[in-house]
Amino acid sequence: MAQSENPRQDAPTPTFPSQNSPAHAELVGLSRENASLRERLDAAEAAGAASAETVPLPGFAARAARPLTRLRWRAFLAVVLIAVGVLLAPVAVVSQWTKTVVTDTDAFVATVAPLGDDPAVQAFLVTEIVGVVEEQVDIEALTSDLFDGLASLDLPPRAQNALALLKTPAVEGVRSLIRTAAERVVASDASAKVWEEALRLSQVQIIAALDGDTSSALVISDTGDVGIQLGPIIAEVKKQLVDQGFGLAANIPEIDRTIPIVQSDALVLARTAYQLLNVAGTWLPWLSLILIAAGVLMARRRYLALIWTGVTLGLSMALLAAGVSVGRFIFINALSPDYLPSDLAGTVYDSLVPLVYASALSVGLSAVTVAVVTYLAGPFRGAIAVRRLVTEGARHLRASAAGNGAAIGRTGVWFYRTRSFIRAGVGIGAASVALFWRPLTPTVIIWTTVLALIVVLLLELLQRSPEEVLTVAAGEAEPGKPGAGASGSTTAGTSADLTETVELSRRSESTTVPDRRPDVD
């Protein structure tokens, strides 16, 4: 008998139920529809069709009807959103750091105040103090006048010669005495407190002036005039006099007068830049995050989009950290030697940038961690192999523990049924730490990742699928197995446990959403 050219037509004819049954009529209808679809598919293949789009197979009609142009625009827009968000991320980190250091008084004092204890800063202050004292006091002239006065006395020749020899050492001794006194003052605890209070007061007044606060002692007008308002100062003097019992001070009226100090158009620009920085430092990080999230959600291959976003964001943060290191040399060259010594300029820079450096490393580490977690959770061969290895290892450990009498039974089934919620809670908790923990440091990110990993691994060890519990219970209840109970009460108890486990399995299956692989095409 000649073999048919079409292998589909050689399929065995199904055996139908009785012709009077409803199932027979339904099977006949399905068979006819199947034959019609086969004919249309054969016609499409004979015509050289590149795809099966001409065959409206159920389940593929919606996807086949998508316009190709729309998919391209969607992919292009996703790339643009992610790229803009990643490019804005370093700017957002720097702007937030600048806003924190400049506008937050406590952060500013905590950043700059330790400079007062630095040996390089103290040496610089001592040199400046000694220089100012020598500018105001002519030590050589005073010493010369003193020795000239002594020489005018009718002293013996040997005394006159001794005075001439002591004149130069006396000048150096006075200078050494001034330097020693300055060093003691600068290194004292009182000086540290004065330094901190001066920083706090100056920062508060400058920020108030930049904010346009009319109640502060220092104000900046719209024309760039800087002035000191006498009103707040006189009000404080009035309060202290009244507190000391000087009743007439209560009659001092409120005074609204400003003493101009300096005028500069650059101060108006500085106030505008400060206000812009205040807004950018608050909203730019959230804008970058929203753009990245929107781009990932718009992408068709979301796993790949999230992985590449994490990698590129990590690279951008690495470049920012490298830029901070390069900026040190630029900062030193700009200030040294005209304004500050090179070692002091380096000390000042090192005291200012640790926060932005740590923020860049933290964000980069978080991005790389997200990329790795996304890969391990995705439908990739390597990720599937890793997950299978972890699952099988956990299963063997649970079996070994159960063999030693350490099975947790129904608690393990509960962990199995709630595993998705627990994993989601771990992810939300880790994300909350990255978003709201301040200051964000690499140590915080590392410990958050380690704790999340420990929780996930413990979940893998503790959870037990209903099928696994059924298998263990059936093995224990089977007669002749080692450890099986010989008494009737033991058999009845095992049967009851097995029935309860079956019920748990049915409930779990009825409430579990079918696992579908994500669309990664």
User: What is the DSSP code string of 80-132?
Assistant: HHHHHHHHHHHHHHHHHHHHHHHH-HHHHHHHHGGGGG-HHHHHHHHHHHHHH
Burial profile 136-151: b = 16 or more Cβ within 10 angstroms, e = fewer: eeebeeebeeebeeee
Distance CA 468, CA 465 (A): 5
Q: What is the pLDDT of residues 249-301, one digit of tens each?
A: 676 677 666 656 555 666 667 777 778 888 888 899 999 999 999 999 999 88
**Nearest residue to 383 (alpha-carbon basis) of 303, 459, 302, 463:** 303
CA atoms within 13 A on the CB side of 105: 13
**From CA 498, how far away is CA 182, in angstroms rounded?**
87
Q: Measured between alpha carbons, how far is 477 from 466 in angstroms, rounded to an integer?
A: 16
- Whole-angstrom distance, CA of residue 498 vs CA of residue 440: 51
pTM of the model: 0.64
Split at pLDDT 50, 70, 90, the class of 55 is very low
pLDDT over threshold 60, residue 48: no
The answer to whether the beta carbons of residues 29 and 22 sit under 8 Å apart is no
Tens digits of residue pLDDT in 79-131: 999 999 999 999 999 888 888 887 888 888 888 888 888 888 888 888 888 88
Q: Tell me which DSSP letter residue 224 carries.
A: S
Backbone φ and ψ for 240, nearest 5 degrees, come out as -65, -40
The tens digit of pLDDT for each residue in 155-211 reads 677 766 666 667 777 778 777 887 888 888 888 887 778 778 877 877 787 777 777
Determine the pLDDT at residue 16: 46
Cβ-based neighbours of 17, under 8 Å, separated by 6 or more: 23, 24, 27
8 Å CB contact between 192 and 116? yes
Question: Is residue 226 within a helix (H) or strand (E), and if so which, with residue range?
Answer: strand 225-229
* C-alpha to C-alpha distance for 44 and 65, rounded to whole angstroms: 18
> Quick one: pLDDT at residue 295?
94
Assign residue 478 a region (left: φ > 0; alpha: ψ between -120 and 50; beta: otherwise). beta
Per-residue tokens: 112 = 């700059």
